[in-house]
C-alpha cells in the first residue's frame, strides 16, 4: 500500500517544482497512509507550513442519495439492475424494487451509511469543508477555506457547460494464457 501513497506524493513534489500551487486530491481512509503522503512531500523538500490539508465532509443522506443514482446508472450500463448490483452489499429492504428511499434506509444500517468503511478522523489542524450542497455552494466553501478568489462569472451552470460527458468505449479482450507444459 505504501508505494502507491509514496508515488502520488512524489508526483506532487515534482509538480511543485514547476508550479507554485499544486493540489493533490485523494480519498485516504487510513491516517497511516495520509501520514505517508505528508512525510514524503516534506522529505521531497516542501516545507510543512506550505501544505494545507482539507477534509471534505458531506451529509450522509446527501451522499447516499447521489450514490443510489450512481449505482443505478452503473447497473444499467452493465446491463443489470441496481437490485442485482447491490446483492453483494447484502442490503435488506422490503419489496422487490430498490427505491432511493429504501436504498438510503438500508445503507444507513451498514456502518451508519458509510459502506466503504470508517474514515479515520483527521487531526483538528486540518480544515474541514462541507460539500453537501449540490450546487456552487460547495465550491464557495472550498474557496473560503483556502482564501481563494475566482472570477464572478464562474457559475455552476458554466461548470456544467464546460464539463462534457465522455463517450464510453468498450473493448473486449480475449486472453488465452500459454501453458508452461
**Residue 172 belongs to some domain of the structure:** no
Query: Residues near 152 by Cβ (< 8 Å), separated by ≥ 6?
Result: none
pLDDT in tens, 33-84: 889 999 999 999 999 888 888 888 889 999 999 999 999 999 999 999 999 9
For residues 91 and 44, membership in a common domain is answered with no
**Residue 76 belongs to some domain of the structure:** yes
* Residue 25 CB coordination number (10 Å): 7
Q: Region 132-159: what's the mean pLDDT?
A: 84
Provide the domain limits for residue 151.
Answer: 2-57+120-162
Q: For residue 141, which of 22, 57, 29 has the smallest C-alpha distance?
A: 57
SS3 142: helix
- The pTM (predicted TM-score) of the whole model is 0.68
Cα–Cα dist 137/144, whole Å: 10
- Rg of the chain over Cα atoms, rounded to whole angstroms, equals 21
The tally of domains found in the chain comes to: 2
C-alpha cell at 120: 479515520
Amino acid at each position: 500500500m505504501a508505494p502507491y501513497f509514496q508515488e502520488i506524493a512524489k508526483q506532487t513534489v515534482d509538480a511543485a517544482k514547476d508550479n507554485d500551487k499544486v493540489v493533490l486530491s485523494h480519498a485516504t481512509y487510513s491516517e497511516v497512509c495520509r501520514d505517508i503522503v505528508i512525510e514524503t512531500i516534506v522529505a521531497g523538500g516542501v516545507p510543512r507550513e506550505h501544505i494545507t490539508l482539507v477534509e471534505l465532509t458531506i451529509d450522509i443522506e446527501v451522499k447516499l442519495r447521489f450514490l443510489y443514482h450512481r449505482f443505478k446508472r452503473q447497473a444499467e450500463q452493465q446491463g443489470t439492475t441496481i437490485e442485482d448490483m447491490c446483492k453483494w452489499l447484502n442490503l435488506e429492504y422490503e419489496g422487490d424494487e430498490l427505491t432511493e428511499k429504501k436504498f438510503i434506509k438500508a445503507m444507513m444500517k451498514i456502518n451508519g451509511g458509510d459502506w466503504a468503511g470508517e474514515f479515520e478522523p483527521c487531526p483538528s489542524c486540518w480544515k474541514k469543508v462541507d460539500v453537501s450542497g449540490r450546487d456552487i455552494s460547495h465550491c464557495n466553501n472550498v474557496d473560503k477555506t483556502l482564501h481563494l478568489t475566482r472570477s464572478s462569472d464562474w457559475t455552476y451552470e458554466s461548470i456544467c457547460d464546460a464539463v462534457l460527458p465522455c463517450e464510453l468505449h468498450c473493448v473486449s479482450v480475449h486472453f488465452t494464457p500459454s501453458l508452461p507444459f
